[in-house]
Amino acid sequence: PDVRADDGDPAGDSWGIFTFLCAALCNLPALPALNCSEELGAGQSIQQTYDLTRYLEHQLRTLAGTYLNYLGPPFNEPDFNPPRMARAERVPSATVDLDLWRGLTDNARLAANYRAYSRLLCYLRVLDGQVGTAELRHRLSHFCASLQGLVLSIGGVMSSLGYPLPAGPVGPPGPPGASAAPNDFLKKMDDFWLLKELQTWLWRSAKDFNRLKKKVPPAVVTLRLEARGF
């Protein structure tokens, strides 16, 4: 049968609508456009930082055992637990009341972590240049690279949450070698406390990021309206 558009046939109407839509599509650049994209939000950044913190905890257990054996007794003895000395105060301490720490804002805790790891990294790089064995230097260098990644990752979390990075210098006023220990034992004590504080910081940071990732939703697919020439 013959299908003709001038009889009011549905096929003719459909063809007219199709022609109109084709003409409209030609002018789409002048109309708002929908853009669907995946937002890599703070949730993913926090998860990556948490994973890196746990990896550094694992790395440090191996590094600390090797380094304390390098220092020799009594530093490599399991029950060695000396009091914190005045010289060790230059190393950022993680010994803070837990209730007080949890009472801080997320911004304050992130900034404290950022400053602490930046300073600890400076001290570790000094150790890297002082040890006498190639194997230990290699392990320290690898750990420093991972710790540098953690500092950058924390900065990324802060940026994704809209927090500014800490202002001013975050490094120590001077590395441990800038004020030489009076004797070899006190020099080793400095190294011992550096590793001990770093271990505590990583343990607490892992808990911080674990809590934070539960507060921030994961990345979602969002639908944005982009106006182009409108």
pLDDT at 177: 47
What are the pLDDT digits (tens) for 62-116?
A: 999 999 999 999 999 989 988 776 665 677 777 778 888 889 999 999 999 999 9
Q: Which residue has the tokens 């990752």?
A: 153
Q: Which residues, other chains included, contact 101 with Cβ-Cβ below 8 Å and sequence gap of 6+? A: 109, 204
pLDDT at 38: 36
Instruction: Pull the structure tokens for residue 97.
Output: 């009341």
State the Cα–Cα distance between residues 68 and 70, nearest whole angstrom.
5
Q: Which residues, other chains included, contact 212 with Cβ-Cβ below 8 Å and sequence gap of 6+? A: 46, 106, 157
What mean pLDDT, rounded, does the chain reach? 77
Please indicate whether residue 140 or residue 81 has the higher confidence score (pLDDT): 140
Mean pLDDT of the 221-227 span: 39
Please indicate whether residue 85 or residue 59 has the higher confidence score (pLDDT): 59
CA 143 to chain centre: 15
What is the DSSP code string of the chain? ----GGGT-HHHHHHHHHHHHHHHHHTGGGS-EEEEEE---HHHHHHHHHHHHHHHHHHHHHHHHHHHHHH-TTTTSTT--PPPPGGGGGSPP----HHHHHTS-HHHHHHHHHHHHHHHHHHHHHHHTT-S-HHHHHHHHHHHHHHHHHHHHHHHHHHHTTPPPPPS--S-SS-GGGS--SSHHHHHHHHHHHHHHHHHHHHHHHHHHHHHHHHS----EEEEEE-S--
On the question of pLDDT at 120 being above 80, the answer is yes
Is residue 30 within 8 Å of residue 142, measured between CB atoms? no
Please indicate whether residue 131 or residue 154 has the higher confidence score (pLDDT): 154
% of the chain at pLDDT higher than 70: 68
% of the chain at pLDDT higher than 90: 44
Please indicate whether residue 179 or residue 119 has the higher confidence score (pLDDT): 119
pLDDT band at 224 (very low <50, low <70, confident <90, very high): very low
On the question of pLDDT at 222 being above 60, the answer is no
pLDDT at 17: 53
What are the pLDDT digits (tens) for 11-29?
A: 555 555 555 455 544 554 4
What are the pLDDT digits (tens) for 143-178?
A: 999 999 999 999 999 999 999 998 765 555 554 444
pLDDT at 52: 96
